[in-house]
Structure 1
Amino acid sequence: MTLIRRLVTGASTTLLSVSLVACSSSDTGDAAQNGATAEEVMSAAKSALDATSGVELSLTTEDQRDEGDFLRSAEGVITDAPAFQGTAGGRFLGFNAEDVEVRSVDGEFYVNAPVIGWDTYDPAELCAPDPATLLDPDTGVSNVLVAATDLEAGEQRRAEDDNSVVVTPYTATVPGTAVKAILPCAPDDSFEAVFTVDDEGRLRAADLTGVFFSGGDDITYTITVSAYGIAQEITAPE
């Protein structure tokens, strides 16, 4: 039994016959051809995120905001404690900064701001998510997957960063309420999404496009999950 079938079976009250297997370089097709609906694939990918001890994750955009605080990038480790340790870049409190150390532990969000040093902040006031909550099964990234509608599978392909991995993209529409839970400044009612799921049923990337800041243009944020099963102790800065 494949990982995705075990996840779907555990997450559903009915037995589902699912088999998403790695294919040869000439094999293409969508999830339906492999026995699972797109909704079942999203449910399985959510279960994989909800069950992991931690992930290596990044959130990036190549777009810009003309004024106001703006999260351009964040990367690090998120654990199910919940906790986060990593770095962020963008415009914070009116200042541009890159590779700023960030931690989130026990509900406190710490930023090692230039000149100021470590201090606690409300991430929502910085138009940024509390990264520790991105693994929350009710409000985090996994909830975005199952909130999606109009799901449509694309052609399977080899992952650009690892030719041994087969991935399938899924286009979708995501309600603004689900996106706002992870990116709090997002005012749009809906966002366009592309979810990339690997042949083990795990989310590898999510591209979210829409208006993330009032009065602004469309921006695309890319969430990339580069590793699962991370176990790391994260403590508050001293």
Structure 2
Amino acid sequence: MRTARSTRSARTVRPANPARLAAGVLTGLVALGALTACSGDGGSGGDRPTGWKEAGAEAKKLLDDTSGVELELSTGDDPGVNYLSSARGTVVADPESFEGSVSGKVSGFSAADVPVISVDGKLWINYALLGGWTDQFNPKDLCAPDPATLLSPSSGVSGVLTSSTDMSEGKAERGGTDNKEVFRTYEGKASGDAIRAILPCADGDSFDATYRVDDKGYLRTARLTGVFFPGAKSMTYTIDVTKYDVTKDISAPE
């Protein structure tokens, strides 16, 4: 049994409805997972595939094989509905678990740095209005899968990569530590059906996609634009994966 305990606290502005905040947090987490790719210091060198069919397949395999990732998400857009504005956290593949914090807007109110843990099939949210940590929200009731399962090779997010179509190689971009690395970029369309396999409520038929790949074959950044939430305006999420091959003990809060 894993023994690590989370001691994070939440800073929130009281929204009108706690359940809607939880739904917004969950939906945003899944949108985050649907856009996620992995990066890291490991991997093989040598010649890298240049076409997306090969590069995407390699990136999927690396994502499926990773022990865990640390990631950050942000958007400068306001789609006009409940949405996730930023998030950061750790997803661990085995045992399936998630720990992180999210910020966003629900019913016109902002919520900042709300801690979230998903482990052992339960979602925990540290919501001050409900007196601290609570597990009363079921992801299935919120039109979202459990965020702890986002790295599952069979039902997680890696299928979005290989289902992307009309991909072409774009301009090289700089990034990484001190902006010293040069990444290949691929631009095209992410399938709405593939994203709905992760986020059932996504409205878009397709999403404009840009992936940045490092010289070891790992996706380092994903940028997707489209309608992620019902009744919302189109928006762009940028996801940076800051660490690969993460191992972390995550357990339910006391």
TM-score by length of structure 2 reads 0.74
Q: Residue in 1 aligned with 2:86?
A: 73
Whether 1:59 and 2:87 are equivalent positions in the alignment is no
Q: Residue in 2 aligned with 1:119?
A: 134
**How many residues are treated as equivalent by the alignment?**
210
**Which stretch of the first structure deviates more once superposed, 111-120 or 80-89?**
111-120
Is the CA contact 1:185–1:212 (under 8 Å) kept in the aligned structure 2? yes
Cα gap change, 1:66/1:157 in structure 2, threshold over 3 Å: closer, same or farther? closer
Instruction: List aligned pairs for 1:184-195, cutoff 5 A.
Output: 184-195=200-211
Instruction: List aligned pairs for 1:17-56, cutoff 5 A.
Output: 19-20=47-48, 35-56=49-70
Q: Distance in 2 between matches of 1:89 and 1:124?
A: 21
Q: Which amino acid counterpart does residue 71 of structure 2 have in structure 1?
A: L
Q: Which amino acid counterpart does residue 192 of structure 1 have in structure 2?
A: D
Q: Which SS does the other structure have where 1:85 is aligned?
A: strand
Higher strand share goes to which structure? 1
Q: Residue in 1 aligned with 2:11?
A: none
Q: Which SS does the other structure have where 2:150 is aligned?
A: helix
Of structures 1 and 2, the one scoring higher in RCO (CA 8 A, sep 6+) is 2
- Deviation digits for residues 58-107 of structure 1 (CA, Å, limit 9, x no counterpart): 2222211323x322222111111211111011135774211000001022
- Deviation digits for residues 128-170 of structure 1 (CA, Å, limit 9, x no counterpart): 6643222122343321110100111113233254444221111
Cα gap change, 1:222/1:157 in structure 2, threshold over 3 Å: closer, same or farther? closer
Q: Percent identity?
A: 45
Whether 1:147 and 2:163 are equivalent positions in the alignment is yes
Is the CA contact 1:4–1:41 (under 8 Å) kept in the aligned structure 2? no
Q: Residue in 1 aligned with 2:33?
A: none
Q: Residue in 2 aligned with 1:32?
A: none
- Deviation digits for residues 191-221 of structure 1 (CA, Å, limit 9, x no counterpart): 1111111111001111111111222211112
Q: 1:135 aligns with which of 128, 151, 169?
A: 151
Whether 1:222 and 2:238 are equivalent positions in the alignment is yes
TM-score by length of structure 1 reads 0.79
Whether 1:198 and 2:211 are equivalent positions in the alignment is no
Q: Distance in 1 between matches of 2:78 and 2:181?
A: 32
Q: Residue in 2 aligned with 1:174?
A: 190
Is the CA contact 2:53–2:162 (under 8 Å) kept in the aligned structure 1? yes
Q: Distance in 1 between matches of 2:187 and 2:251?
A: 38
Gapped runs of 5+ residues in structure 2?
A: 1-41
Gapped runs of 5+ residues in structure 1?
A: 6-17, 21-34
Is the CA contact 2:213–2:219 (under 8 Å) kept in the aligned structure 1? yes
Whether 1:107 and 2:121 are equivalent positions in the alignment is yes
Cα gap change, 1:228/1:195 in structure 2, threshold over 3 Å: closer, same or farther? same
